[in-house]
Amino acid sequence: MTIKGETLLEQSLITCPHCGTAKLERMPTDACHFFYDCTGCGARLKPKPGDCCVFCSYGSVPCPPVQAQGRCSTGCGCKPNGDRS
């Protein structure tokens, strides 16, 4: 995906801080993924304070909206994706 002449990465290696399981996942390009269920231990990950999504907190690459805007915060302009309960 290319925005403003820059190529954005659409996959990130997300690593569980509890058990160390790492999995390559495709990131949504127009939203933030708020929750992620670890495939190793079943822990439900949520963003660290100040991060907009689990990819920004636990991934090898920040989410595409943050890559495009160059910052990660709840005011980054992206929309939450999925269950927020």
| pLDDT tens-digit series, residues 24-68 | 999 987 777 889 999 999 999 999 988 888 999 999 998 888 887
Residue 75 lies in a domain: yes
Cα separation, 12 vs 77, whole angstroms: 20
The number of folded domains in the chain is 1
Q: Is residue 48 part of a domain?
A: yes
DSSP bridge partners of 64: none
Q: What is the pTM of this model?
A: 0.76
Q: Is residue 13 part of a domain?
A: yes
Is residue 84 in a domain?
A: no
Assign 72 a pLDDT band (cuts: 50, 70, 90).
low
**Does 15 reside within a domain?**
yes
- Band the pLDDT of 82: cuts 50, 70, 90: very low
The answer as to whether 71 is a domain residue is yes
- How would residue 85 be classed by pLDDT, with cut points 50, 70 and 90? very low
Q: Within a 10 A sphere around the Cβ of 52, how many other Cβ atoms?
A: 26
Domain assignment present for 55:
yes
| Domain span at 51 | 2-79
Q: Is the dihedral of CA 84, 78, 13, 16 positive or negative?
A: negative
- Residue 65 domain flag: yes
